[in-house]
Structure 1
Amino acid sequence: MASLKALKLRIGSVKSTQKITKAMKMVAAAKLRRAQQSAEAGRPYSSRMTDVVQSLASRVTAGPQAPKLLAGTGKDDTHLIVLATADRGLAGAFSSNVVRAARRKAEELTAQGRTVLFYIVGRKGRPVIQRFYPKGIIAQYDTSEMKAPTYANAQAIAKDLVDRYMTDGIDVVHLAYANFRSTLVQEPTIDQIIPVQAGAANDTEATARSGPPAAVEYEPDEEEILADLLPRNIAIQIYRALLENQAGFYGSQMTAMDNATRNAGDMINRLSIQYNRQRQAAITTELVEIISGAEAL
């Protein structure tokens, strides 16, 4: 059984930890508000850009003149998964949930005979992927110095992906990230970003938002517009994923620190009860010894 001194030191240590977790919860809550606002503000633009690109893509006839980012390589052999996770921990299962979803996708593709490669964004996903796919990681984008995602960061990642898609024999690119729903729910999501999928399922949503499609003439033609919009759309989808990831990270961290603070409080209560019982037992023992000595005299 632990001594009174050891229990007192343990209680003090847990109280110090509780102060840290409580402060981290408050910091995460403050950062979450800004990150959530940024994520929510980016969703309409990202969704509308996807609608525009898909609308243009549906009007373009696949052929040698069609952009490669739209028409694809004509093969479906090599898939690249862009895995976006956090750089720091203490956020519950936030990063591990995204990594788990990416691994499931990779296992499905491997079972179909496809080659799977990984492009890592953030540090938390690399150790797990390196353990299961030691030769599958082709690059990593360092976000350790990035306080908040910027469009410039997304552009840099998108440019690197497009260059690799054009030259490295990659056929399909997927983006894995955590879609922020609430502080308790961050939904792992995997979207195909290259080649662009024309006539996707959200055409119904677009029609519901904006009504029936109007007759539109494009100047210059659709191919030239797509040549400019397709790389931009990739950057925007990556930017949205980074914003969603940041909001999801702070939401998960706030929940984890709240749980840790409450668990620390429960532990302090248990240790305090144990300390008081042992202290009372020691006092009782001393009183018995004193009374026994007095009676002996």
Structure 2
Amino acid sequence: MANLKEVRNRISSVSSTQQITKAMKMVSAAKLKRATNAIVALRPYATKLKELLANLSASLEDGASPFLQDREPVRVLVIVVTSNRGLAGAFNTNAIKTANNLIADKYSKQLAAGNVSIVSIGKKSQEFYERRKYNVIGNNNDVYNDLNFLNVAKITESVMEGFLNGQYDRVELVYNQFRNAAVQILTSEQLLPVPKAEVDEVVKTTKIAETKGPVVQVDYILEPSKEEIIDKLIPKNIKTQVYKAVLDSYASEHGARMTAMDKATENAGDLLKALKLAYNQARQAAITTELTEIVSGAAALSAG
């Protein structure tokens, strides 16, 4: 009977866990909807702004904007975007692993010299790098309590100021890009200096229709000057790209958690079936044993 009690306790425990995972899945599904709406609304604007500035800056000298100055990456800053909470499968682990691989592949010398710093957005990456004695700058975990452009822009402004002051020569951004609830694309991209488009990408050409005439380059009229546009829009673009990365990561977090909790709920259901089967088998064995003892006792009495 002790075995039956143990199985009953396990069934009760797994049932409680299943209720929790089912509730967490529903909460993440509701949050995912809002997060998805936010990133879907921002992504076209952020993508087009980035393309526009990359094309414009490609035809300018490095001195046109301090954010375009390509310096030797002696001091490197890596912005790692994770979440404050776990129970999201490998979501946080993969982002941290991607950042570590980036540092090992591109900035191993800077790391050995102690010139790699981390700006963590999310408690999980904050704790990971602090435990390993990295130079973690600031604490940005509260940004998820009120996720909006202004709060993320404060983080970006401090990073931009550090780049302008020469504290960092290169800034990299690592995050999970949202594709759908089940798929998150690990992304690492250079934030500063602002990458330029290749010359071939900048040249806009068109051919005269239905002829083999010469290629005509399309010339655009920009007002005010190209330099003024770059000067005004580059800081805005940098803030927008970081905000997009945080929104991408936020949506990815809830998608990953919803998927993980759905799988956990399914696994709990399978475990419950196995436990109930084991319970019924143990109960049947106990009843059979009791019946055998009763029959044996009755036979002994009749024989006596």
TM-score computed with the length of structure 2 as normaliser: 0.87
Counterpart pick for 1:170 among 158, 164, 168:
168
Contact 1:179 1:248 in 2 (8 A): yes
SS in 2 for 1:177: strand
Counterpart pick for 1:229 among 226, 233, 241:
233
What does residue 199 of structure 1 align with? Answer: 197
Which deviates more, 93-102 or 214-223?
214-223
SS in 1 for 2:259: helix
Contact 2:58 2:199 in 1 (8 A): no
What does residue 224 of structure 2 align with? Answer: 220
What does residue 41 of structure 1 align with? Answer: 41
Question: 1:17, CA displacement in angstroms?
Answer: 0.9
C-alpha change, 1:2 and 1:131, in structure 2 (3 Å) is farther
Contact 2:143 2:152 in 1 (8 A): no
In the alignment, the residues of structure 2 paired with residue 270 and residue 254 of structure 1 have an alpha-carbon distance, to the nearest angstrom, of 25
TM-score computed with the length of structure 1 as normaliser: 0.89
Q: Deviations over 1:136-181 (max 9, x none)?
A: 212331236525x311122112111111212252101111100111
Question: 1:33, CA displacement in angstroms?
Answer: 2.0
Letter in 1 for 2:253: F
What does residue 154 of structure 2 align with? Answer: 156
C-alpha change, 1:2 and 1:285, in structure 2 (3 Å) is same
Larger radius of gyration: 2
Question: 1:2, CA displacement in angstroms?
Answer: 5.7
Letter in 2 for 1:103: N
In the alignment, the residues of structure 1 paired with residue 139 and residue 81 of structure 2 have an alpha-carbon distance, to the nearest angstrom, of 10
SS in 2 for 1:223: helix
Q: 1:173-188 to 2 correspondence within 5 Å? A: 173-188=171-186
Count of residues paired in the alignment: 288
In the alignment, the residues of structure 1 paired with residue 199 and residue 100 of structure 2 have an alpha-carbon distance, to the nearest angstrom, of 25
SS in 2 for 1:173: strand
SS in 1 for 2:107: helix
Contact 1:118 1:139 in 2 (8 A): no
Contact 2:170 2:192 in 1 (8 A): yes
Q: Deviations over 1:32-84 (max 9, x none)?
A: 12212221221110111101211221232233xx2211124x32211110001
SS in 1 for 2:123: coil
Which deviates more, 91-100 or 273-282?
273-282
Letter in 1 for 2:69: A
Question: 1:214, CA displacement in angstroms?
Answer: 4.5
Question: 1:103, CA displacement in angstroms?
Answer: 0.3
Unaligned runs of 5+ in 2: 207-215
In the alignment, the residues of structure 2 paired with residue 153 and residue 207 of structure 1 have an alpha-carbon distance, to the nearest angstrom, of 41
In the alignment, the residues of structure 1 paired with residue 31 and residue 200 of structure 2 have an alpha-carbon distance, to the nearest angstrom, of 31
